[in-house]
Amino acid sequence: MLCVHGDTGHGKTVALHQALRRLPRRVPVRHALVAVKPALPQLLTAFGLPATSLTNRTDAADRALLDALKVPGVLVVDDVQRIAAPELDYLRLLFDTLATQTSVVLCGAGAERTLARAPALASRVLTWQHTPRLDSTQVPGVLRLFHPLWHTAADEDLLHADKTCARGNFRTWAKITSHVYAALDRGSGTAVDRALLTRACSRLGPNL
C-alpha cells in the first residue's frame, strides 16, 4: 500500500500517472475516482463490477471485490480524502485478506491527514510519497519534461513567471501551458518569451 500526498495542485495525479505508465503493460491498473458520496460504488466500478446491482447487497459486493483483488495489479484510489472513516476501515479489511494480490495506491490532497484518522489503515501503508511545491530550481527542467512547448523558453523567463504567478504550483503551470499554446496557435509569435508568458499569466485571474 502506497500513499501519495501533498497540497492541492502540486501534481500528484500527473506524477502518479507517469509512474504507472512505466509498469509492464500486462499489469492491470484500475482507478477508483471518489466523489462526495459512499466509495463502495466507485470501488466496484474500478474493477468493472455491476455497482448498481451490488451496492445494496453487501455480502455479494464483498465477495465480488475480494475475488477481484485476488488478481495481481494496482488499484488507485484518488481523492481519498473524501472517503469517510468507516469506508477507510472497509478498505483495510479488503486489503488484509490473505488472498489479496492487488497493490493499493491512496492519493489525494491531505491524504496523510485523512489516514491519520484511520490509524489501522495508515499502519498498512508501506511507502509515503510527498509531492511538494516545485522549487524554483526545478521549474525549467520539470516544464521541459512536461511539454515540448517549453524547450526553447529561457530559464530566466520561466523563473520570472514562477516567481510572479505560478509560485511552484504545477496545476497553475498546466494552465499557463494551455494559454501559451493557444496564443501560439492563434499566431501570436513563434517563440515563448517573457511578454507571451506575462499575457498568459494575466488570463488566470487575480486569485492565484
- CATH code reported for the domain at 2-130: 3.40.50.300
Query: CA nearest 173: which of 140, 132, 127, 151?
Result: 140
Query: For 65-92, how does the pLDDT look when each residue is reduced to its tens digit (9 = 90+)?
Result: 999 999 999 999 999 998 888 888 989 9
pLDDT value of position 57: 65
* In the predicted structure, residue 208 carries a pLDDT above the cut 60: no
Query: For 116-151, how does the pLDDT look when each residue is reduced to its tens digit (9 = 90+)?
Result: 999 999 999 999 999 999 999 999 999 999 999 999
Q: In which residue are the cell numbers 485571474 written?
A: 205
CB 75 within 8 A of CB 104: yes
Length of the chain, in residues: 208
pLDDT value of position 188: 63
What's the DSSP call for residue 164? I
If you average pLDDT over residues 86-99, what whole number do you get? 90
* In the predicted structure, residue 59 carries a pLDDT above the cut 90: no
